[in-house]
Every structure is written in C-alpha cells, then in structure tokens.
C-alpha cells in the first residue's frame, strides 16, 4: 500500500523521483518496528548491529538525496528518459511496475534476512558473533564506499567542466563505486543472518539487488555516459565496472 501511495503521489506531481527517498526510509522504519514488536530481538547482538547498519545506511542515503533535491519539478534523468521515449500507456506501465513496484520488491527481498535476525522466536540465533561482525563490517564498508563515491563525484563536478569523466578516488578503480557500496550493504545483511540456526539457503534479496544494479541501473547509466562524455570509452577500457581490473 505504501508503494501505491508513493506511485499515486508521483502521478499527482508528475514526478517519479518522489519514490527515491522511499527506498532509503522504508527499511529503517520497518526494521525498527520489528525490533519493537519482537521482544526477544533485544536480547542478542545481531539485532543491534543490524539496526545500526540499516539506520546509518538510510540516513546517509536520504541526506545524499536531500543534497541533490531542488524542487518537485526536477525529475531524475532516468525517469525522464522513459517518459520522453515511451508511448503514454507504456510509460505508465513502466512507471508503476519498473520504477516503483519492482524496486520495492527487491528491497523487501533484501530485507528478509534482517527479519530472520529480528524474529528471534522463530529463528534461534547461535552465539557465533564472528559471522555477525563480518556481515556488519561489510555493510558499513558498503555505506562508506557510497559516501566516499558520492562526495568525490560531487567535488569533481564542482571543480571540472561538464563532459569530463570522474576518475579520482574510488572512481579510479571502479566505474560505479556507489553501486558497489549499495550491493555490499545488503550482502552484509545476508551474512549477518547466517548466524541463524535456519538461515535462508539462497540469498535471493542480495542476488536480486545485485542483478538490478548490474543489468538495469549500470547499463542505463553507461549508455548516457558514452553519449555525453567522449573520454568514457577509454575510461571504460581501463576501469572495472564494479571491481578493479587486475589485468
């Protein structure tokens, strides 16, 4: 219902970008409500580390969105691209399913391991703190990557003319370090849940999130970069998409 409300609000204001802060606000709110509801969730380390990582992630991502938000008339170029290049009916189908519903499904699938951690009554957590701490630090490292990448890109744009390719900091080693950080964040949540006696055997949420960025977000971004930045071809040859090129 929340996604439908956000979608309808976007229709009212003719701006699909209204969905963007929902992506970063929903997980901390839901996890906190679960934490409050499940009394035994307050009895183990994994719950507190999960909440800490998700709140740090959510606050950072929301603040980053706020820095780029100007007014309700400004819409993310990706949404505007679909709106400009698709038939009216096709656009509304893509808008609801592709830009609102599917991302929501992906983020909720990524949240499932966190639910397992908090739902202590059903999924008894072992006292294997090492795996929890490993997952926690992977999530925090992902958030740090996102923060550094966004900060470096913003500073590069401020000090360089349009059309230049950002190749400093993390961007020297990865073409999409911000997306890499987002992927790491949710893999970290999944790893934390492996402390459960009955962990989910397949990390469907983390995999779905990885697929969304690797096969949808990144190709769309790279198509735009190749069109607008002549140097991007060479940058692409020498720089890995997510991980650094070894050879």
Domain ranges within the chain, ordered by starting residue: 2-238
| Residues of the chain above pLDDT 70, percent | 88
CA distances from 198 to 7, 94, 202 (A): 36, 37, 12
Residue 10: its pLDDT value, please? 67
The pLDDT value recorded for residue 4 is 79
Q: How confident is the model at residue 247 (pLDDT cuts 50, 70, 90)?
A: low
Mean confidence (pLDDT) of the chain: 86
pLDDT at 164: 92
The total of other beta-carbon atoms located within 10 Å of residue 156's CB is 16
- Give the residue-averaged pLDDT of 210-237: 93
With beta carbons less than 8 A apart as the criterion, state whether 65 and 20 touch. Answer: yes
**Residue 127 to residue 13: CA distance in whole angstroms:** 50
Q: Is the pTM of this model over 0.95?
A: no
Closest CA to 177 of 186, 188, 166, 187: 166
pLDDT tens-digit map of 108-127: 999 999 988 888 655 555 56
Distance, in Å, from the CA atom of 144 to the CA atom of 146, rounded to the nearest integer, reads 5
User: Rounded CA gap, 46 and 203, in Å?
Assistant: 18
Core vs surface per residue 1-38: b (16+ CB within 10 A) or e: eebeebbeebeeeebbbbbbbbbbbbbbebbeebbeeb
Mean pLDDT of 189-196: 87
């Amino acid at each position: 219902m929340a996604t439908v409300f956000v979608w309808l609000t976007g229709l009212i204001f003719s701006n699909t970008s209204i969905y963007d802060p929902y992506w970063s606000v929903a997980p901390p709110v839901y996890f906190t409500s679960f934490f409050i509801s499940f009394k035994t969730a307050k009895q183990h380390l994994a719950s507190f580390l999960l909440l800490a990582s998700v709140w740090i992630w959510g606050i950072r991502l929301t603040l980053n969105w706020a820095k780029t938000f100007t007014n309700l008339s400004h819409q993310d170029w990706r949404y505007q691209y679909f709106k400009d290049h698709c038939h009216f009916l096709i656009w509304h189908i893509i808008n609801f399913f592709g830009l609102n519903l599917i991302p929501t499904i992906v983020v909720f699938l990524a949240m499932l391991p966190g639910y397992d951690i908090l739902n202590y009554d059903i999924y008894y957590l072992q006292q294997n703190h090492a795996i929890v701490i490993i997952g926690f630090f992977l999530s925090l490292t992902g958030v740090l990557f996102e923060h550094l990448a966004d900060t470096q890109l913003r500073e590069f744009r401020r000090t360089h003319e349009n059309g230049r390719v950002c190749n400093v900091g993390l961007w020297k080693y990865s073409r999409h370090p911000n997306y890499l950080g987002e992927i790491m964040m949710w893999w970290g949540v999944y790893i934390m849940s492996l402390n459960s006696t009955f962990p989910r055997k397949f990390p469907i949420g983390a995999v779905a999130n990885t697929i969304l960025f690797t096969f949808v977000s990144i190709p769309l971004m790279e198509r735009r970069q190749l069109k607008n930045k002549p140097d991007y071809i060479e940058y692409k040859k020498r720089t890995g998409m997510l991980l650094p090129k070894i050879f």
